[in-house]
Amino acid sequence: MEIIFYHPTFNAAWWVNALEKALPHARVREWKVGDNNPADYALVWQPPVEMLAGRRLKAVFALGAGVDAILSKLNAHPEMLDASIPLFRLEDTGMGLQMQEYAVSQVLHWFRRFDDYQALKNQALWKPLPEYTREEFSVGIMGAGVLGAKVAESLQTWGFPLRCWSRSRKSWPGVESYVGREELHAFLNQTRVLINLLPNTAQTVGIINSELLDQLPDGAYVLNLARGVHVQEADLLAALDSGKLKGAMLDVFSQEPLPQESPLWRHPRVAMTPHIAAVTRPAEAIDYISRTITQLEKGEPVTGQVDRARGY
């Protein structure tokens, strides 16, 4: 079995060595320009077109949970990968726990009014504030995939009312499920904290705009953990300035790194992190990939395959 690996920043030698330990019968090599030798599987992130074009691969693994970048490249260069070759994404590989940590910590930060107390501290004001109740602090999750399910599971522990919005109905215990555009308003109008975990598709680009934000209760919060292109940043800032939104926490942006001139840097009710909410954990990724390749070789059912038409 031949496996080729390409990632512009990962330590290729470590990955090659780890994969060969996990799959003793495989020969793994870092792909380099001019390498046209046969391969059965490819592990990639932002691969050059020539790496995959014309290859008769059994499968390709994208080294991340999001596949919008490689799908965009495939749309521009359909010759890059035959439509019959399955494409897989990393389903969890430690990202679920990281998303749980991030989402829970931020919801609790707002629920306990730590943002308000920081503002009071900056003014040297000692002023206890009225507490929020859980009943008035409903959390809505847009996107009900693997990571959305993990976040909902962790927030249940804290007793917040939970709801999710997705393409298909979910039957998660303790979570109200809303489906499609026709149920979006009902989902939004009782959502105090909106968590975005949607995939990046043509249908979801720019979805968090003034029309959507206006349907949230006054004083709502937005937590974006998916993709920056989901948010119309000017609309978000306008909602913050008007008081419609009380705060926003952003991990992703339409342009990264975020330009210095962006007003998001200086807005008092915007907090941010540099796209670190959930990163690929190499050891767990190796475990998932090696397990999936073994299942594929045995003809067993697998999970994590990307639906190219849907975009995730």
Catalytic residue, chosen from 167, 267, 269, 275, is 275
The total of other beta-carbon atoms located within 10 Å of residue 72's CB is 12
267 is catalytic: no
Listed residue (200, 161, 165) closest to 310, CA to CA: 200
Q: Which two tokens stand for residue 59?
A: 């499968």
Is residue 69 within 8 A of residue 42, CB to CB? The reply is no
* Paired strand residues for 179: 166
Cα(309)–Cα(202) distance, integer angstroms: 11
| Three-state SS annotation for 7-55 | CCCCCHHHHHHHHHHHCCCCEEEECCCCCCCCCCEEEECCCCHHHHCCC
End-to-end CA distance of the chain: 27
Is residue 137 within 8 A of residue 192, CB to CB? The reply is yes
Catalytic residue, chosen from 227, 230, 269, 310, is 227
227 is catalytic: yes
DSSP letter for 158, please. T
DSSP letter for 195, please. E
Cα(151)–Cα(17) distance, integer angstroms: 33
Cα(238)–Cα(208) distance, integer angstroms: 12
DSSP letter for 208, please. B
Is residue 38 within 8 A of residue 20, CB to CB? The reply is no
Active-site residue numbers?
Answer: 227, 275
